[in-house]
Amino acid sequence: MSTSEEPAAAVAQRILDSAGGDACVLVDDMSEVDVRFANNTVTSDGRRRLRRVSVVRYVEVPGGRSTGSASGTGDVDVEALLSAAELDALSAGPADDAAGLLDGGQDSDAYLGAPEVEPSSLSALLGELGDLLRRSATQHRVAAGFAEGSLVTTTVASTAGTMRRHVTPTAKLQLTLRDTSTGASVWAGSAGGSLAELSLAGIEASLDVRLGWSTRRIDLPAGRYRTILPPDAVADLVPLAAQAASGRDALEGHNVYSAPGSQTRIGQRLFDVPFNFRTDPNEPGLEAIPFVAARASSGDASVFDNGAPIGRQTFVEDGILKRLLWTRAGADKAGAQATFPGDNMILELPGSTATTADLISNSDRALLVTCLWYIREVDPATLLLTGLTRDGVYLVEAGEVVAAVNNFRFNESPLDVLARVSAAGRTERALSREWNEWFPRTAMPGIVVENFNFSSVSPAT
């Protein structure tokens, strides 16, 4: 048995010692606190601890190497996990992503215990939140939102010598305010490494400005509009372009990065604006796990790559597509560069210093859309997405926000959106409203998009 008190590296090493062949062990220790509120009151809260132990076995089978994996939480029976993984490997058949295990190196702190988020980190926030909720009730406002802080310690060890450990701290704070006298609703959020870094007062102040913009409201019809998207709204779109970046699917001819003749679009100019798009585990303020930790293989990730270092990976440089996602085995077959999914995303226009306020003041007439919602893929061939505006659409005229506007449904591809950018601002830490649970580490510029396609009006307010 393994208990959660035992250091993860010790558990992993014990499993590897008894594996009887090639194996990899992944241990995730998660600690989290959260509080949720709505209708000017707290609605739920939570404190949770989780250890998940995953075992991957690699075995020789006729025709190649196969893998099997099993995982469990809590006080897991590691011998049972090992047996289950081995049994699955023996019946799985040769793996397409087979590659030699690699020694991903050793971290000197690998045998340290996993840190926990203390519930006291909520206390300061709750005092401030209580004041905000009571104040909202007296100002004809209804507040809703969510705050959470987590620490995830990931340990990856393998019989090839890898013993890596990384602690990923994440904190997020989101606030929605509805003015019951005007019906206006606004949202903002921020992310960082701890709840103490995040400012509820700062978020509220930004929403005060937007509620001020909402004192006048006009209705506009569906159509194509020049549209300003602040960094948070850009972070609602870009992750879907990154997720679709499978090199294998592109080469096989069935994603948006495919080119005719069994080719990919690598080397093609995607955007006239010379954007760079990358992941980088060492990006200041967005530090992310710097090695591969795959519990199971999938189209773009391989358990054979576990422990492989993830460095800076630039997918788009000067607007030109440079890389797509490839496992080591897939890259080897395709003559491509192994590229792993990273845990952060950075889009930037080098040299740009404009703020979103500058983009507004430089616009004669545009819509300002602060937040997108319910975004789903409609057509994988074009990466057409549909979704809606939510909690903040405004009309900009002569460099000023002049009114709040009704909500719209949009149909757009993020690649087409970035290809129609006429101005972009400086890159800032951003929080996607819809995808922050999966992609909390993003930095994006505000952008001005020509002819953004709003295909219908939504009556939602």
Partner 1 sequence: MPGLDESFLELPLNGVSEAALGRARQLGCDHAEVRVERIRTQYLSVRDGALETSLDDTEVGIGVRVFHRGSVGFAAAASVSVQEAVRLAGEAVDLAKVVALALGEPVQLAGEPVWADAIWVAPYETDPTRVPLGDKVDLLASWTARLISSPSVDHATGSVTAVSEDKYYADLSGTSTLQRRVRVHPVVEAVALGGPAGFETMRTLAPPMARGWEGLLGAGCDLDGEIAALPELLRERLAAPSVEPGRYDLVVDPTNLWLTIHESIGHATELDRALGYEAAYAGTSFARPEMIGELRYGSELMNVVGDRTQPYGLATVGFDDEGVAAQSFDIVRDGVLVGFQLDRRIAAAAGRERSNGCAFADSPLHAPLQRMANVSLLSAPGGPSTEELIDGCGDGIYVVGDKSWSIDMQRHNFQFTGQRFYEIRSGRLAGQLRDVAYQATTTEFWGSMDGVGGEGTVVLGGAFNCGKGQPGQVAPVGHACPSARFRNVNVLNVRRESGR
Q: Does 412 bind partner 1 (CB under 8 A)?
A: yes
Non-local (6+) Cβ contacts of 341 within 8 A are 279, 300, 301, 325
Nearest distance, CB of residue 404 and partner 1, angstroms = 16
197 binds partner 1 (CB under 8 A): no
CA distance 327 to 50: 29
Contact with partner 1 (CB under 8 A) among 6, 75, 197, 358: 75
Residue 115 near partner 1 by CB under 8 A: no
Residues 6+ apart with CB under 8 A from 293: 26, 154, 156, 306
Closer Cβ to partner 1, 43 or 282, answer by number: 43
Instruction: Please pick, from the candidates 18, 41, 181, 263, the single residue that binds partner 1 as defined by CB under 8 A.
Output: 41
On whether the CB atoms of residues 34 and 148 are closer than 8 A, the answer is yes
CA distance to 255, 259, 267, per residue, from 249 (Å)? 6, 11, 17
Rank residues 74 and 285 by Cβ distance to partner 1 and give the closer one.
74
Q: Is 47 in the site for partner 1 (CB under 8 A)?
A: yes
Q: Is 133 in the site for partner 1 (CB under 8 A)?
A: yes
The site for partner 1, by CB under 8 A, has a size of: 102
Q: Is 268 one of the binding residues for partner 1 (CB under 8 A)?
A: no
By CB under 8 A, is residue 39 in contact with partner 1? yes
401 contributes a contact to partner 1 by CB under 8 A: no
Check residue 205 for interaction with partner 1 (CB under 8 A): no
Check binding of 290 to partner 1 (CB under 8 A). Answer: no
Question: By the 8 A CB rule, do 394 and 213 touch?
Answer: yes
Q: Which of 282, 286, 292 is nearest to 341 (CA)?
A: 292
- Which of 11, 241, 388, 449 touches partner 1 by CB under 8 A? 388
Q: What six digits make up the tokens of 330? A: 């897939």
User: Is there binding between residue 218 and partner 1 (CB under 8 A)?
Assistant: no
Choosing from 88, 197, 283, 450, the residue that interacts with partner 1 (CB under 8 A) is 88
Decide if residue 305 touches partner 1 (CB under 8 A): no
Tokens of 443: 């930095």
Give the integer Cα–Cα distance in Å for 219 and 223.
12
**Residue nearer to partner 1 on the CB measure, 153 or 427:** 153
- 58, 63, 74, 411 from 86: Cα distances, Å: 8, 17, 21, 47
> Encoding tokens for residue 236?
């609602």
